[in-house]
A and B are shown apart, each in its own frame.
Chain A
């Protein structure tokens, strides 16, 4: 299997109480951890985008991505356009491409803005049109309620839902999979016994993405769970990495069409 991990991070948290027991401070450490676990690549965010700020953090991640062995792609951190801190929605696709950051993310609580569809509409509209994936991670200052409202406003958005709740939480997240056809679910917190098998039966393997949430969680747990899942080898390959790579490629090619 070729693993691409949809939920990686590195950097230094300034709130000591939120620092994980085994932090991963640099992208070089992350690179080593991926090599140790046999993970080929994945999607990564830097804590610097939330600790230092979006302008510094996005640039830092772009620079760091040039230094790694793994096939890593960045998550670009958004804030609303009204303060003109980031490139405009028209210019942003070119930046994402140049910086190898094909996925958007946000942390509304930390960056202090309202996670409302109207507040983010220029960027989300662009992302929906260009099929640029948007990561919705409930550890990053957005609640599941707010994710649902955003997706109701942009039901065709290409989104990744990373719902951090290890309880058997199907009653929470299955409506997302049922109602939003371009949403994929990142699996780091979906650790229910035979949960992968059940989701594949109902929604198909195309909707699921391998993710670990490293360094807060172990990579090996989800790797062995997927390896031992009673689904076809083809489905395992999709979940392990092919779905994520297809998502990225779809965004890149849509972007290329528009940029022509």
Chain B
């Protein structure tokens, strides 16, 4: 019996062990630690590293819930796990729109070049637009240093919808903008924005529970501008791998999404 997708050799290989030696995973959308809105059975760094090892995750870029939501704890929650465990961990500095202090954050970025790959913008949660002037020094810094910006993006949002992404993608062409959740729901607009701006990538967290969207992305955009992400420890890495193996795309597309695109984006940090 063949499972998941009898037409995919890669699916059958993953079925055997849960990972494939020459197909590592690059996860561009992670978190860590406790989260106010739900119980996470495996949110501590050691538990997550266990999952990462089992799923053959070669690179995991995260921003701790505590860095994003707790002004009291802040970046310690990102820095300590990366310093303690190293690879595959890298962090996004949380741009806390409710507690902006660019000098504090610039210092954190510059003192910890081995910790950070860029910044995380969670503007929907904070009620502040991506292009808000309070964020300008962060975008300028990211642009100057050619870093990553993982942006929570959601269809219909006034804070991080397609028009907001267009504004920052246009103004800061040297920032690699990873659209977390791919402007969820406005799939055609997400494709349009990615076509218009070569520095924009679509990311798959919370996309994979809508069967057919990935196929739409790949048909319209190709698989070179799509990166893997899970919100781990929210969503199971294995669940997301299984969805991508099930999708009606080629194994070559799957490899682009699982690691080839990620390797290109992360090469400078290795």
The answer, among A22, A169, A171, for a CB contact under 8 Å with B211, is: A22
The answer to whether A22 and B212 touch (CB under 8 A), given A167-B37, A220-B245, is: yes
CB distance from A225 to the nearest CB of B (A): 4
State A168–B239 Cα separation when bound (angstroms): 14
Contact B215 A166 (CB under 8 A): no
Which B34-59 residues have a C-beta within 8 angstroms of A? Answer: 35, 37-42, 47-48, 51, 54-55
Contacts of B206 in A (CB 8 A): 166
Contact A223 B211 (CB under 8 A): no
Contact B3 A193 (CB under 8 A): no
Contact A220 B243 (CB under 8 A): yes
Contact A228 B245 (CB under 8 A): no
- Does any Cβ of A come within 8 Å of B110's Cβ? no
CB distance from B254 to the nearest CB of A (A): 11
The answer, among B1, B209, B234, B242, for a CB contact under 8 Å with A220, is: B242
- Give B contacts to A, CB under 8 Å: 1-7, 11, 14-15, 18, 35, 37-42, 47-48, 51, 54-55, 187, 206, 208-213, 215-216, 230, 232-243, 245-248
Contact B41 A197 (CB under 8 A): yes
Question: Which of A109-117, A125-133, A145-153, A211-219 is near enough to bind chain B?
Answer: A211-219
- Does any Cβ of B come within 8 Å of A243's Cβ? no
Contact B41 A193 (CB under 8 A): yes
The answer, among A167, A189, A198, A223, for a CB contact under 8 Å with B242, is: A223
Contact B51 A224 (CB under 8 A): no
Contact A193 B233 (CB under 8 A): yes
Having A170-B38, A195-B236, one finds 14 other A-B pairs with CB under 8 Å, namely A1-B3, A21-B211, A35-B6, A36-B6, A38-B1, A38-B3, A38-B4, A193-B40, A194-B41, A198-B41, A198-B42, A217-B209, A220-B243, A227-B18
CB distance from B250 to the nearest CB of A (A): 15
Which B-chain residue is minimally distant from A229 (CB atoms)?
Answer: B238
State A23–B195 Cα separation when bound (angstroms): 26
- Give A contacts to B, CB under 8 Å: 1, 3, 20-22, 35-38, 166-171, 189, 191-195, 197-198, 214-225, 227-228
State A216–B1 Cα separation when bound (angstroms): 24
Contacts of B37 in A (CB 8 A): 167-168
State A224–B13 Cα separation when bound (angstroms): 11
9 contacts between A and B (CB under 8 A): A21-B216, A192-B234, A193-B42, A193-B48, A218-B242, A220-B242, A224-B239, A225-B239, A227-B15
Contacts of A1 in B (CB 8 A): 3
Contacts of A195 in B (CB 8 A): 41, 236
Which A-chain residue is minimally distant from B6 (CB atoms)?
Answer: A36
CB distance from A70 to the nearest CB of B (A): 13
Contact A168 B234 (CB under 8 A): yes
CB distance from A121 to the nearest CB of B (A): 34
Contact B238 A225 (CB under 8 A): yes
Contacts of A21 in B (CB 8 A): 187, 210-213, 215-216
